[in-house]
Structures are given as C-alpha cells and as structure tokens.
Structure 1
C-alpha cells in the first residue's frame, strides 16, 4: 500500500506582505511552480495581539489558494482528500516573541477545519529565509527588507542573530530605516537644518505636504512599512548623484555588512573557517545599495564568501517539515500538533 501524500502549506509572513504556497511530496502536482497567493503583512508577532493578527493575515491567501474548499490547480481532489496536511510559517517577530510564536502554532491547527491541518511549525521569517537561501546548510543569511536581520548558523549547530531589534531601536540599513532617513533629510531641507536634496520633492510627490508627513507616517499603523515605501526612491536618488541620498545608502550598506560579519563571527567564522553569506529580501532589488553591500561584504575579509540564494523563504518553510528537528535551527522552531 503506497504512503499517503503530504501537502505542506508554506507561509512567509513579513511586515510588508504575506505569501502562501504549498509543496507536495509523494505525488506529481502537474505544476512546474506551485501557485503563490499574497496579501498584506503584519507589524510582527512582538506587537500586541501579534498571533491573532498573523492568523488574520494568513487567512485570506490560504482561502484563495484553496478556493471554495477545492485544492489548488494540479492537486486533484483525490490526492487532497488522502493527503496529510502540514503548515509551516516563517513570521516576523518570532525570535523576539517566542510565546506569541508558540500561540500562533497552536492557533493554526484549527484555523481551517476543512484542511484538517495535522501539524504546524512556526519560526522567524529570518530563519526560513536562511533555510531557503542556504538549503539548510551552515552560513549567514542577511535578510534585508522592511526590517533587517543577519542570521548565522555554524557548522556545529550554533545560531546567532545580529540586528533585527525593530524599527524603534534597530533595523539599521533596512528598507524602513533607509526610507525614514530619506524622509528626515527631506524635512531637514524643508526647515533649513540640512542640505538641499532632491529627496524633498520626491517625498512631497509620494506623501503630499511635508508638514503633514509625521501624521501620515504614524497614522499608517505600521510606520516602518510606510517609510520603507520611500527606500527605492532614496536608492534612485543616490544613483542619480544626490549626495544626501548617497550618504544614506552608503551608511545602510555598512550597517548591513556589519550585521552579517557580527553573526558570522559569533558562530565561529574566520579566515580558516569561512562561511557562505547570502543576501535576500526586498532590498536586493535596489541596485545602488546592492552594489555597495557587495563591496562592504568583500571588505569584511575572507571569513565570508558571498553566494547566490539557493531558494526562497517558502522553500525554507517547507524544509521545516521535510527535515524537522534534525535542523540546527530547531531551538527556535515552535511546533504544535502530531509530529
């Protein structure tokens, strides 16, 4: 008798967006790439009611993926009916709020009765990005998006996280940080405290009258997400020769490289024991920052080898179930249900 197929719902829940897809073992799906449904992210598990907000953010993409209770295209009704359904989530804030991460894992089991989720696993979106980028191997992954975190995993299984302290006390070099620095520069130009910069006109074009900018950012509900919208504009301005913007981007590259180097050092990397480093996240698409970051990482010395990402955070979430407790990341994984 053949073994029942396993369907793993995989979730990448960041502060800006939520992505949901699936992976199937034991049967071909007929799809070269499983469908991905998206929705807005959440401020993070460390925020009040973070677990409830996470379930709400995941709900709509899951329901669209399994529209009307039917399985996604390529996964027929018979397979879906016979399958064991697992759910793996990488969620922003899970490292800072382990109690909320455990609460989320337990809450996911009954969130969609029609899917009969047997087991759920929740960890940080930084760790699922690490798992995907380095295929579960040792190394450092720099997650540079709305927030910024460097995650190092040593060859002996040690785990170190540098940065990622949130938009108020940390996240230096992140999209939220770059955008906020650009908006501050625009306000300093406006009131005469800072040099002239094209960021002033760009900020007005995006947000309206700058006198109302503080309220526009704070009223968003997720200020870091609001300021991160401006990061691409700062990068463009730097490429066009705006000195103020270029200084912001250079500072951001230095902060990100320092976080990666710190995480590598804490898990034992040195010239004799180098580790791979991969950069993932939305900021990879900012060309001026990406070029500066490559230079900064190279300047950190031979302890880091820059490599391309092997996979996505969704692939990393799937590895949580495929390889389970054998992963060195396991101390930071919260599981619920039947293993």
Structure 2
C-alpha cells in the first residue's frame, strides 16, 4: 500500500511516501534574491524526487517578509521568488514527484536566528524585525513581546496567504499546504495558551478557529478546484487539559476544514508552548492521525519518527493514515523510498539514467 497511488481531486500522487516540510535556513538574507530558493534548495529537493518520494513539500515558505521564521527562510511574495521556484517544480514534475508547497507565517516565533547559531530571537539591529501574534504574549523567556494583530492586520495576513497561493500555482506547484501547526501564527490563534483576545478572534473555540478558516477560504478561492489543499495541524499543545489546544479540538476543527474544501489533514503536534516535555518514540504522533481519520472519515497523513518500511506499511494497512510524511529519515537517506520498495518487494521507481544500478 505504501506504493499505491493516492488520488485527491484530479491529482494522482504516485505513492504514499512523502517528504515533510523541513526548513533549510539557507536562502539569501538581503538583496533582490532575499527569500528565493537557490542551488542548495534545488539540489536538496531534486535528490528526493530522484530518490522516489511521491510528493515533495517545500519547507515552510513565508507569505510575507515578516512571516519568516528566520531571515534565511524561503518566501513567496515577489516575482523573483516565484521564478526561482519554477525551476524546482519543473524538475520534480519531470522526475515523477508531485511538487507541493507549505505556506506559513511564523507569528511570534518569527525573527529568529538559524538553529545552528542558537536560534535566539534577533533584534532589529541584528537583521530581525518586530513580530506579530494574536495577543501580546511572548513565546518564551528572552522572546520579545509581539504586537497584537489588529482587525486590519488580520485581513492583511489572510490576503498574503491568498496572494502566495496564486504565486505558487504560477510557479508550478500542484499541492498547497497551509501551516497551522508548531506554534506559528495560525496555531497561535487556535490555542487558548497563546490567544488571549476578547474580540471575534478569541475566547470560545468558534472564535479561535476563525482566522484559520478565513485563511483556508481565501486560499481555496484562488486555488483550482481540481487541485488539493492540505492543512498541517498540531494535534495537541501537550499541555494539561484546559490550558491549550487538544486532540478533541483537532477533531472538531478537522470537520470544519473538510466542509471548506481542505482535502487532507497533515497531523503533527507541539511547538506552541515552550518547556513542554514530550515522550517521543517510533510513530508517537500516529495515534492522533488515526483518531482524526476514524472520527471524520477524512484523508490524513501521519508524521513523526517513521523510519522503517514495514512500520510505514503497517500504518497504512491498519487504517491509521492514508500517507506517511518522512522528515529526518529523508535527510539521512534521500533514496529511502527506493530502499523501502525493495524491502516490501515492490519494483522501485528510478530514473532511466540509474537503471544500470539494478
């Protein structure tokens, strides 16, 4: 089943081994190519297409300059970025992989340094910028207090997501994923841990999901009916009941997203609360995806320490998910899908140039 195609709307993805979005923090940080993918991104993504991944999702790509996690993040708010992505999507498509993009706004976790430099927040004198959030609540100690988004500011971010989706289509992407996970802006609105508003975007569940639904509606309005939209969610903040977003909330939101034309829920967890201890292990997030699928009948993808071909196959055949997203394992081995095919006695897909490697 891992190598069976999956059709969403009119798009058929050739297998269910997909590459999860993983930030590379390697884009230009100044000049006309700020935020545009370069040779590193081309080589990084192209290798996974040659390796046999059925769908390749780019890293979190900011819909505006202030939406970047770091100054070195990718963006899709101008023509140069759009053109640079076109080179990548063309290669992925020619070599059998579906090109997808994750659109994001980092909210209060924006304006941070690269992880290998410590990942600390950057001041304006260090190449950083003021951050925004649903409420003036910093992510953690040492983080600045973000500016609370006004109603006009919210409308502006929604418009940025729609504009980036239009650019993504022109750049050749066939899947767009809205990033609502890991404590970035959409996830900040969802959770009472980070959303302390008292207006129409805060308080009860119906208000806290309003921003997410407005983004989805705006993207669906400009994205072709024949192409799918994904939504990445953190199924839980891993906080005690009543203090944050929960799996129950995720199931409720999933039903709302399905009604608005989202085709797949990409189920992750965490990232919105600092200092939280998470008991990780092989497939530790799979039960969240399984519950959404069981209670909604919706198409879901599982992610999180999926590393073994037989483990991945079991997740699908047991009905816990419809696809698996691999992250670190594909960093370690770009050819994991081909190795998995051999382990499962499936003929691997490989470029003609590599046929002699049988």
Higher strand share: 1
Select the structure with the greater relative contact order (CA < 8 A; seq sep ≥ 6).
Answer: 1
TM-score by length of 2: 0.29
Q: Which has the larger radius of gyration?
A: 1
TM-score by length of 1: 0.30
Higher helix share: 1
